[in-house]
Structure formats: C-alpha cells, structure tokens
Amino acid sequence: MNEGITVKDLSVGYEEPILSGLSFHMAEEEFWVVVGPNGAGKTTLIKTILGIIPPLSGEIFIHGKRCTNWCDERKFLSYVPQMENYASNFPSNVFEVVLSGLFPRLKRFQKITDKEVKTVERWLKFLDLWEVREKKFNDLSGGQQRKVLIARALVGSPHYIFLDEPTTGVDLKNSRKIIKLLNSLHKEKKFGICMITHELSSVWHYIDKVILLGYEGKFFIGKKEEILNEELLSQIYQVEVKIAQTEGGPIFLVWDKHN
Ligand SMILES: Nc1ncnc2c1ncn2[C@@H]1O[C@H](COP(=O)(O)OP(=O)(O)O)[C@@H](O)[C@H]1O
Ligand SMILES: [Mg+2]
C-alpha cells in the first residue's frame, strides 16, 4: 500500500502567492477534480504538484517521500497539458507523440526497447488510436488529439494522471467519450485521476474529492456533496448557480431570473 500524495501548507504562485495554506491528501486510486473560475490558479496548482513550477512554500510528499523540489517518485505522476499549451506545430505522427511520453524516463542515449514499443502499441490499441497511429498529430480532430496526449501520459506507467481541461473545445459526444475513458482508466486500470474541468454534470458520478478554487485565493477541499452545492458554487463563481436533480444525476445551471 502506497501513501498517495500529501500536500502540506502549500503556497503556489509566481513571486506573489495565488493560493496559500493548501493541505490535503490524495489517496492512491482516487478521482479528484479541480474546479473554479478562470485565473483562480487551477493550472498553477497542478503544475506545482507535478514539479513543473516550484512551490513558494510548504511541502509535497509522494508515496511518503518528500518531493517539494525533485524526487524520484515524481515519475509516478504524469501530465496531460491543456491543449492550447501543447506545442503541436511539429510534424510528428501519433505513434511518435505517444512514444515521446517515455523520454523523461530514459537515461541519456538509452535506446528504446521492444518492451517499450509494445507498451506504446498496447495503449494505442486500448485508446482506439491504432488505426491512426501513422497519421500526423496535427491532422487529427481535437477529441483524438486529447486521446493521443492521454496515451502519451500513460506509457510511462504512472500511478496518477493529472489532466488540464481535457474536454475543453471538444464536442459533446467526444467529450463524453473522454470522460468515460478516464473513468475506465480509474476503475479498471486503477489510476489516480486529478482533472481540471468545468463539466461538473458529466463527471459528477466519478468524483471522489473536489478542490474548488475561487477568486483572491479562496479555496474549499472536500467530498463532492460538501463542495459542489448551490450555495458554495454561487459564492465562488459570483453568479447564481442552481442544481437540478435528474435521474441521470445533478445538472449544474447558471441561473438568470428574467424579470
Ligand atoms: N507563467 C506565469 N507567470 C506569472 N503569472 C502567471 C503565469 N501563468 C499564470 N499566471 C497568472 O496566475 C493566475 C492563475 O493562473 P492559472 O493557474 O492559469 O489559472 P486557471 O488555470 O485557474 O485559469 C492568473 O492570474 C494568471 O494570469
Ligand atoms: Mg488553467
């Protein structure tokens, strides 16, 4: 039994803190979402946990090892960046993009082995990308590009996958497919998932815990029922949020009274 990811009194930002005093424990195999308005610090927070941005203060432990700066345990965390931030203007094909997920793990000049190629092939098949493996990444639809980036995050055998808005800009049907895929990676393959999303209705069933970030460094962390309620969401988003209970689960609405 590993010990998950523990964050203690973390402060994140760039010179000036955006969020301070964050403490939480992400157990292995949980499904977390990070939600909140634009500019609240969602991306900054997950990049700090991933070690891409240094924390301003506080501590991060991965499987019990102190990882505030660098540590070997970081290899258990993988990242699916927001699409706009992924430099895709180079002519790689799908296979090569997925294979590039192994590079951070290879030692300098280390050759890629058959075993690693097999891993790439296995994920391409699992994610239904086998048929397009030789196509140029740039020629794929937005939905398929997200799946390629998910495959790229998976080939390094992580324990946790952090995703930054993986369905933003994807149409409804393909967005649904991506969310179902994340659920099957969580339920069947036992990955810990932490995703930034605005699609609360679609992910509701799958969520264990929520980090809700607001303006001016406000945050709330807890179980979905405690955090994703009308009162707190309306307060954080500074707009009236209503939750309609339906057979398929709650639907989150921005409510305008027309009078
Ligand atoms: N590289 C950076 N340098 C300085 N400030 C940044 C940088 N990236 C983002 N910010 C600022 O940090 C704040 C939080 O940004 P971000 O984490 O991207 O928010 P979110 O993902 O919730 O939209 C914003 O005010 C943004 O302008
Ligand atoms: Mg962001």
To the nearest 10°, report the CA torsion of 193, 195, 199, 201: 30
Tens-digit pLDDT profile for residues 158-172: 999 999 999 998 889
Domain coverage including residue 139: 5-254
Is the minimum distance from the CB of 18 to ligand 1 under 6 angstroms?
yes
Q: Is the CB of 40 under 6 A from ligand 1?
A: yes
Nearest ligand by distance to the CA of 166: 2
At 76, which CATH number? 3.40.50.300
* Tens digits of residue pLDDT in 25-64: 999 999 999 999 999 999 999 999 999 999 999 999 999 9
Ligand 2 center–CA 259 separation, angstroms: 35
Distance, CA of 76 to CA of 150 (rounded, Å): 15
The share of the chain scoring above pLDDT 90, in percent, equals 79
Q: What pLDDT score was predicted for residue 85?
A: 63
Mutate to test the pocket of ligand 1, among 10, 12, 16, 18 (most ligand atoms within 8 A of CB): 18
Is residue 54 in some structural domain?
Answer: yes
The verdict on residue 143 lying in a domain is yes
Give the total number of structural domains in the chain. Answer: 1
Q: Is the CB of 227 under 6 A from ligand 1?
A: no
Q: Can you read off the two tokens belonging to residue 226?
A: 């405690």
Q: Taking the CB of residue 172, how many other CB atoms lie within 10 A of it?
A: 10
Q: Which two tokens stand for residue 229?
A: 């309620």
pLDDT in tens, 96-132: 999 999 877 666 666 778 888 999 999 999 999 999 9
Output the pTM of the full model: 0.94
Q: Establish if 162 belongs to a structural domain.
A: yes
Residue 259 lies in a domain: no
